[in-house]
Amino acid sequence: MNDRPAACRAAEALGHDYDHYDPAFALDPHADYAKLRAACPVAYTGNYGGFFVVSRFRDLNEVLHDAKAFSSWPADTPPTPGHSRALIPLEVDPPEHRRYRMIIDPIFRPRAIGGMADEIRSRAAELAARMAAEREFDFMEKFGRPFPGAVFLRLVGLDFSVEQRDQLCDWAGTILHTTTEGATHGDVEAQTAARLKAGRALNTFLRGLLDERLETPGEDILSRLIDAELPGQRKMDYHEILNFAYVLVLAGLDTVTTALGFSFLHLARRPDLQDRIAADPSLIPGAVEELLRYEPIVHASRTVMESRVLGGTQLQPGDRVVLPLASAHRDEEAFPDANELLIDRKIASTLVFGGGSHRCVGMHLARMELTIAFEEIFRRIPRFSLPPDAVLETHGGQTRSLMNLPFRTWRDD
Ligand code: HEM
């Protein structure tokens, strides 16, 4: 993208450039986003090949609902070098996108996933009971990472194994954040190599699984995708199913992990909210929703296909835009007292799971996972806290990720 001299610059509004991969920024980006919303709501940065950051709820909403002018290909900023096959359905634009969603959506409807609730609950209960037996540990290691990994294994019909669960989390983490291979922020070459290696390993794992399901179909999601027909035409081919399974790992593990991590981080800082939820678990669905609003984790990206004026800024075909949902959901215009965590808040409209045609396939599953996790944890650990010397580690990128959460199953007060 050409340099854009006329555009409002993120670096001028912030006093430093915008970098959604910066780990420190990923931990608490809210003060910076407030500055961007006030001074430079569609801000240009020359980082990563140049892109615009859209920080207000209404502008972000407009982009998400205009797939004609804003293409989802490629989904990441910067795009991974060598990435040439669109991820299904994330990077496919309408009308083709609709055909995939017609297959996938029924599999993830509340009634369809409801049948998994008991098994999901027993995994959550098992992990929560182990935490309750200890005094101090890393919440992400004991619950945040293993729980969504276990749910994915159930989705694809694998017998539960701790090794496979942890391996899946490692691959997803490395592909999204290069977490396990030790590549540091800014070392683009090492990060790309680590991502490609993890991507190949995950692909090999999923191929093995798909081959098994082709031979011996079951009741799992892969078997249903093998059987499903694209409207009026054909079945999905091998590579399409593989591609979709790959997206499920990337989209479904790290997001829930980080949503759990940030939720319990904020609750650990708020004994009053802990006491209210423990005394009345019917508050849990509202608390889950408000915590998702308070700390959204996805940075969606789009490529401009048609000229548009957005928030007073002229965008041209070929421009890239990054959509930080964390900023939109602290926008006072959309959420009065946006910086307050109010678990009774009535949320009329949310983009936490995206909006428009690409709205999250897994949002009902994610809400179910989070609600069950809260219920099982609060039942056993109604009072908790952070060690005073807790140091938090984060990663940025397409999704922000909380890597650790030092946690105590008790409180002083
Ligand atoms: C708290 C957890 C989650 C959050 C915050 C979240 C958020 C999002 C967002 C914002 C998008 C839209 C991206 C875009 O427009 O570019 C999305 C898409 C998607 N999500 Fe989720 N997600 C979560 C959990 C899940 C789970 C559990 C699954 C599956 C098991 C899943 C599968 C997907 C898929 C397949 C897409 C692509 C949809 C499409 O392009 O049509 N997500 N998610």
pLDDT tens digits for range 198-244? 889 999 999 999 999 999 999 888 998 999 887 676 788 999 999 99
Ligand 1 lined by 249 (C-beta under 6 Å): no
* Residue 206: C-alpha distances to residues 71, 209, 211, 374 (Å): 28, 5, 9, 30
Which of the four pLDDT bands, split at 50, 70 and 90, describes residue 412?
very high
Sign, CA dihedral 243-244-249-254, equals positive
**Among candidates 56, 20, 61, which has minimal Cα distance to 330?**
56
Q: Is 365 in the pocket of ligand 1 (CB under 6 A)?
A: yes
Are the beta carbons of 257 and 169 closer than 8 angstroms? yes
Q: For residue 67, how far is its CA from the centre of ligand 1 (angstroms)? A: 16
Per-residue confidence band for 155, with pLDDT thresholds at 50, 70 and 90? confident
Q: Where are the beta strands (DSSP E) in 86-190?
A: 136-138
Confidence of residue 178 (pLDDT cuts 50, 70, 90): low
Give the closest residue (by CA) to ligand 1 atom 16: 300
pLDDT of residue 37: 98
Q: Which fold has domain 10-408?
A: Cytochrome p450 (1.10.630)
Mutate to test the pocket of ligand 1, among 363, 365, 370 (most ligand atoms within 8 A of CB): 363
What are the extents of the domains in the chain? 10-408
Q: What pLDDT is recorded for position 82?
A: 79
Return the closest-CA partner of residue 364 out of 156, 110, 143.
Answer: 110
Cα gap 361→106, rounded to integer Å: 10
Amino acid 320: pLDDT: 97
- In this prediction, residues 301-318 reach a mean pLDDT of 97
* Amino acid in position 225: L
Closest listed residue to residue 300, CA positions, set 322, 278, 333? 322
Query: How much is the average pLDDT of 270-274?
Result: 98
| C-alpha closest to that of 382 among 295, 271, 306 | 271
Instruction: Please state the separation of Cα 43 from the chain's center in Å.
Output: 23
Residue owning the nearest CA to atom 40 of ligand 1: 90
Name the pLDDT band for 134 (thresholds 50, 70, 90): very high
User: Is the pLDDT score of 331 beyond 60?
Assistant: yes
Atom 43 of ligand 1, nearest CA residue: 360
Instruction: For 24-74, write each residue's pLDDT tens digit.
Output: 999 999 999 999 999 999 999 999 999 999 999 999 999 999 999 999 999
pLDDT band at 131 (very low <50, low <70, confident <90, very high): very high
Interval 127-144 mean pLDDT? 97
Contact 63, 321 (CB under 8 A): yes
User: How far, in Å, from the CA of 410 to the mean position of ligand 1?
Assistant: 34
The answer to whether the beta carbons of residues 342 and 290 sit under 8 Å apart is yes
- The pLDDT confidence band at residue 6, using thresholds 50, 70 and 90, is confident
Q: Is the pLDDT reported for residue 167 higher than 70?
A: yes
Question: Could you read off the pLDDT of 360-392 as tens digits, one per residue?
Answer: 999 999 999 999 999 999 999 999 999 999 999
Output the six-digit token pair for 165: 């669960």
Q: Is 291 in the pocket of ligand 1 (CB under 6 A)?
A: no
pLDDT at 7: 84
Cα angle for residues 337, 339, 344 (degrees, 5° grid)? 65
Identify the sign of the CA torsion 196, 201, 205, 207: positive
pLDDT reported for residue 1: 54
Q: How far is CA 280 from CA 197, 217, 275, 284, 384, in A?
A: 46, 43, 9, 8, 16
Mean pLDDT (the chain, rounded): 92
Strands (E), 38-176: 42-45, 51-54, 70-71, 136-138
Alpha-carbon distance values, 180 to 36, 171, 174, 192 (Å): 32, 8, 6, 13
Ligand 1 pocket mutation pick from 360, 399, 400, 401 by most atoms within 8 angstroms of CB: 360
Whether residue 250 has its Cβ less than 6 Å from ligand 1? no
Of the two residues 163 and 101, the one the predictor is more confident about is 101
Which atom of ligand 1 is nearest the CA belonging to 253?
Answer: 27
- Most ligand 1 atoms within 8 A of CB, residue of 63, 255, 291 to mutate: 255
